[in-house]
Amino acid sequence: MEPTTSEPRIGDAFGRTLQRCWAAGMAPGAAFEITERDDGYISTADALRYFTPLDDLSDLDQTAVALARGRILDVGTGAGRHALALQQQGKDVVGLDPSPGAVEVACQRGVAAELGSIAHPPEGIGTFDTLLLLGNNLGLLQGAQAAPGVLRQLASLARPGALLIGTGMDPAGSDPDHAAYQDRNRIRGRMPGQIRMRVRGGAVATEWFDYLLLNPHELDRLIQPSPWRWETIHEQGPKYLAVLHLNPS
């Protein structure tokens, strides 16, 4: 018998969402980011948050923008809100993102954005004094297995003395759906906040990927064997800004 349901087509659902928001003049409610977790949990958020102007950035983000120095790589730049804020302060920043739609929007907004990922940066992109993982992009560490490789790849893009500045979020909380998901992760030997998810939009979805919510202690454990060392941390409730520097040895 013919199946009556089918899976969404694989595509750049995140980039399409940014493009819709941008094309609608960044009107509130014009485009929603829809994420699906592998236990079926769906969440939505107005894509407008990816266009936040400098003055409305959170305190943690503003601190990150202030600390960034030298040649800066905004890893996972999205629509380029942090890159634009940095440019407004006269800083030299390149955006990097694997989403063609995101890169297109960021470029249209005036960001020098390039298509690529941490694992596959564009040839000749060079090295940087500051690497940014903002908008919760410490999540790109993925999990305990992938993180050492990701941290090494980031180090390969870093100049001596470089800073790695990222925002993250402690997944602990009282929501029973999230608590059950974290328990399931523990049983499966995954980090509690290791979220298997995909972004959806229309009939299109991204591939499934792991995105990591982790607390500062968990981040500390991932950093120990890596080329990165703590500089400082700024905490605001469950959210935090981690500032690391490249180990000189």
Ligand X SMILES: C[S@@+](CC[C@H](N)C(=O)[O-])C[C@H]1O[C@@H](n2cnc3c(N)ncnc32)[C@H](O)[C@@H]1O
**204-205 and 9-10 beta bridge pairing:** parallel
Residue from 22, 50, 181, 240 touching ligand X (CB under 6 A): that is 50
Task: Name which of 165 and 246 has its Cβ closer to ligand X.
Answer: 165
Is 21 an interacting residue with respect to ligand X (CB under 6 A)? no
Q: What length is written for the chain?
A: 249
Q: Among 64, 72, 78, 246, which residue sits at the site for ligand X (rule: CB under 6 A)?
A: 78
Residues in the interface with ligand X (CB under 6 A) total 19
Amino acid at 129: D
What stretches of the chain show up as alpha helix (H) in DSSP? Answer: 13-23, 59-67, 81-88, 100-108, 147-156, 176-187, 216-223
Residue nearest to ligand X (CB): 135
Q: How far is the CB of 203 from ligand X (least distance, A)?
A: 19
Kindly state whether residue 240 participates in binding ligand X, applying the rule CB under 6 A.
no
58 lines the binding site for ligand X (CB under 6 A): no
**Orientation angle between helical segments 13-23 and 100-108, nearest 10 degrees:** 30
135 binds ligand X (CB under 6 A): yes
Question: Which residue among 58, 62, 108, 136 contacts ligand X (CB under 6 A)?
Answer: 136
Show Cβ contacts of residue 49 under 8 Å, excluding neighbours closer than 6 positions: none
Residue 72 interacts with ligand X (CB under 6 A): yes or no: no
The answer to whether 17 and 199 have CB atoms below 8 angstroms apart is yes
Interface ranges with ligand X (CB under 6 A):
14, 50, 75-78, 81, 96-99, 102, 117-118, 134-137, 140
